Structure 1
């Protein structure tokens, strides 16, 4: 019995053993973060008021990538997508990696290449606004998420494999009515489904 205590002490890993394993643990954590962000869920920071009142500046949201592996976006979905007119960045590779990681955690603002808007028109739809309301294929679109009216535009027909998107804050949104234009479905990153920060606004996105 007297010799068992030193044996147990020798078998117990010391702090140096943990320090030797730490780089491997950090690498594993980064690898898992990469896989989750690349394939499943990604965090985004909301930098502007173009989606008010649904999303406010400073909100952090989670975007689910899984649904659009199975089907295309649906009308009414709030989606995050890459700017179809974005120019390649000139940042160095290290700056791009750091930005990719921190923006994916929602710690920094996303690059100018990412937008969040609501899907209004699907391929083949005819979209227009008149009398303060949006019409799709001649029928008024129910929009309980809006706080105001929509200025007249269109009609426009959505091309194949494209989406017509609008911000919920119709008076202050760069969207498919203006310079953004139609959004290729292949540019869609995922569906925004929940606000995770600040705690006072945490909840599902509708």
Structure 2
């Protein structure tokens, strides 16, 4: 009797997820200990706004849960760096990346150990994003809100031609 209610709550309300790996250090699993962070993911707002067709579902800097683009059935947690229509300069690349309509750019906070848009996926469809990580609830000494914020070293470009001109002037 409770199974349908539980499934609906997990799918459309809030869900609990374990954060594996070190790609989101120091936000999650900061010490690399065997105790893994567990987070509450808010799904209802993302799904409700999607049903209404509103684009303001996500903000740059949100930590999001998404289905892995290359591994069906698996979930990953990454930071949302850029949204559709943004131009993004990625250190180590020559070109400025334009995020296509219906896509976003996600990265792990630990750039050395993260498989993300920068290293593996490129722009990711927004339809893969399932919700926002809101609270760390385990381990108890790490419990608290998940802070949103833009990663250091990423530049959202307002005028991509200015970057190209500056790069040409330096050559």
TM-score by length of 2: 0.73
Unaligned runs of 5+ in 2: 50-55, 148-171
Unaligned runs of 5+ in 1: 1-26, 88-110, 131-151
Cα shift readout 1:150-181 (whole Å, capped 9, x = no counterpart): xx334211111000011111111001012122
Q: CA shift at 1:38, angstroms? A: 1.2
Matched, 1:182 2:135: no
- Secondary structure of the corresponding residue to residue 112 of structure 2: coil
Please tell me the root mean square deviation across aligned C-alpha atoms, in Å: 1.5
- Secondary structure of the corresponding residue to residue 177 of structure 1: helix
Matched, 1:77 2:62: yes
Distance of 2:120 and 2:140 partners within structure 1: 34
Which residue is 2:21 aligned to?
A: 48
Q: Larger radius of gyration, structure 1 or 2? A: 1
Distance of 1:204 and 1:66 partners within structure 2: 17
Distance of 2:83 and 2:143 partners within structure 1: 29
Which residue is 1:67 aligned to?
A: 45
CA contact (8 A) 2:90 2:118 kept: no
CA contact (8 A) 1:72 1:185 kept: no
Q: Would you say how many aligned residue pairs link Structure 1 and Structure 2?
A: 134
